[in-house]
Amino acid sequence: MLTLTNVTWLDLCLAGVAVYLVKQMLNKNPAPYPPGPRGLPLIGNIQDMPHIRPWLTFAEWGKKYGPISHVEILGQHIIVLNSVKSAMDMLDKKGAVYSDRPVLPMCGELCGWKHVLALLPYGDRFRQYRKNIHRIMGNRAALDVYHPVEEIETRRFLKRVFSKPGELQDHVRHTAGAIILRISHGYEVKEKNDPFIDLADRAMDQFSRSTAHGAFMVDIMPFLAKVPEWFPGAGFKRLAREWNKTREEMAAIPYEFVKDQMAAGIAPKSFTSKLLEGQTLSVEEDHMVKWSAASLYLGGSDSTVSAIYSLFLAMTLFPHVQKKAQAEIDTVVGTDRLPSFTDRDSLPYIEALVKEVLRWNVVGPTAFPHRVTEDDIHDGYYIPKGSLVIPNAWFMLNDPQAFADPSQFNPERFLDNDGKDPEPEPRTICFGFGRRICPGLHLADASVWISTAMSLAVFDISKVVENGVEITPEVDPTSGTVSHPKPFKCFIKPRSAKAAALIQQDANY
């Protein structure tokens, strides 16, 4: 007699295959699927789906099969988009059909991240989250009130780098967390070992790991979510239980901090306090405010870390770009003060440099998949309901047809040069598409801009020399929902004695 204790993974896989076969027998498609690699009988393209740097494999599919390609894994259809036009036509123009999110068994269900904006299904709660965020920071002008916070925290960043340049990555992460926590919850972080920063870093790491393509078999065969923790091979469920606890603390602890501060009458203005002020909330409304704030942190912190760390990598590898940027700052701002947001319109090369940071080392190479809510025929191809649609932003921003010599870091591609039109605006691609575009994009853009302008005003960034040998960092981004440059060494020093004095000024100045 077959009991649960002697059911094997093979039995479970066979059950999944049986479901797949029944579906296949019942299907009669009105049009062909988009082209793609030929799958195997029963299991489809399970062996074709890449786990490491998937954007590179997707780009190869684009070259071979065209801008829209298709694979199928045990009945789950996956559509990969390798052109901006396809992404705009489907995800923007057909947003009512292409704006849902898939159910992610590991990240969304078992770890509980389904409450965050990035994973919410398209519907009323999704629209309310976005309305909350848009109301506070829906455009550049609305962010003016937060500029002093960003400038103060970036000044503190300069001090940290000046004091301990070898800990650059930690400083970038600390500062990104400090900015977003002050804006989202009015919380001013401690200089060292801040509990909110530590908690958020753990949650972000776990979120990234839980959403990695192909990392957990339960995402391919969702029925595995029902097996008990003690079942052989079900270690992912014990991991999910631990990660769920971190996720809940990351959202709840800062939220309760704001409530306590408001009750005491000492809460500074923040995203959360504005949504709570003068309100008596239902349980559902309270949930939405808490997770709107948590979504703001999740969407802004890790991506900003990746972009600013990429800036320092680019300046290490392309010193001529650094010199041009510094020359513009010196001419427009001078050397007696640091740049501020009031200088932004007067620094076109810095503006172009920030665009190139966002293009060159793409923060979200494949982003989160969209989910199709109705059958669709697009360009003669059948896109069935429930398909996952993955826009390959990495290729769109490295397409040699759109960007000349894309591996090179060249801000001038975004400037008018001898009557030649600038290359495409990367911010229309790197922040997502359609109704799923990142609602905090203006905040992320502002954070990268002020870090770029202030850092290049006072620091020279160059390659490290060890034992007489110059060390050239690798451009080797990590896989994950948010991609980061591989840790690297660089040499950072003040540009002059005057620059060192500017760095050491009171950060609250």
What domains can be seen in the chain, in order of their start residue? Answer: 30-503 (1.10.630.10)
Mean pLDDT over residues 272-286, rounded? 90
pLDDT at residue 168 in the model: 97
Task: Read off the pLDDT band of 278 (50, 70, 90).
Answer: confident
Secondary structure of residue 76 in the 3-state scheme: strand
Task: Give me the residues paired with residue 382 across strands.
Answer: 377
Angstrom distances, CA of residue 307 to CA of 117, 183, 312: 21, 19, 9
Q: 365 and 483 in contact (C-beta within 8 Å)? A: yes
Amino acid of residue 467? N
Specify the pairing of strand 469-471 against strand 491-494: unpaired
Q: What tokens were used for 428? A: 């229309």
Highest mean pLDDT (candidates 44-48, 292-296, 303-307, 451-455): 451-455
Mean pLDDT over residues 153-169, rounded? 96
Weakest mean pLDDT among 25-34, 45-54, 462-471:
25-34
Task: Give me the residues paired with residue 145 across strands.
Answer: none
Amino acid of residue 14? L
207 closest CA partner among 179, 247, 176, 245? 247
Q: How far apart are CA 126 and CA 493, in angstroms?
A: 45
Q: Summarize pLDDT for 416-426 with one digit per residue, the tens.
A: 877 788 999 99
Q: 224 and 218 in contact (C-beta within 8 Å)? A: yes
Amino acid of residue 68? I
CA dihedral 66, 70, 71, 72 (to 10 degrees): -170
Specify the pairing of strand 76-81 against strand 68-73: antiparallel
Mean per-residue pLDDT of the chain: 90
Task: Read off the pLDDT band of 52 (50, 70, 90).
Answer: confident
280 closest CA partner among 289, 292, 268? 289
Q: What tokens were used for 159? A: 């001090």
**What is the percentage of the chain residues whose pLDDT exceeds 70?**
94
Is residue 6 classed exposed, middle or buried when 0-12, 13-18 and 19+ CB atoms within 10 A define those classes? Answer: exposed
Alpha helices by DSSP H, 212-282: 217-220, 235-263, 271-276
303 closest CA partner among 240, 419, 393? 393
pLDDT at residue 84 greater than cutoff 50: yes
Task: Read off the pLDDT band of 42 (50, 70, 90).
Answer: confident
pLDDT at residue 411 in the model: 97
Crossing angle, helix 168-185 and helix 195-211, to 10 degrees?
A: 100
Task: Give me the residues paired with residue 44 across strands.
Answer: 40, 73
pLDDT at residue 131 in the model: 87
Q: 50 and 213 in contact (C-beta within 8 Å)? A: yes
Phi, psi of 420 (to 5 degrees): -85, 130
pLDDT at residue 434 in the model: 93
pLDDT at residue 301 in the model: 75
pLDDT at residue 394 in the model: 96
Q: How far apart are CA 78 and CA 70, in angstroms?
A: 6
Specify the pairing of strand 76-81 against strand 370-371: unpaired
Weakest mean pLDDT among 181-185, 227-231, 250-254, 407-411:
227-231
Task: Read off the pLDDT band of 147 (50, 70, 90).
Answer: very high
Phi, psi of 455 (to 5 degrees): -65, -45
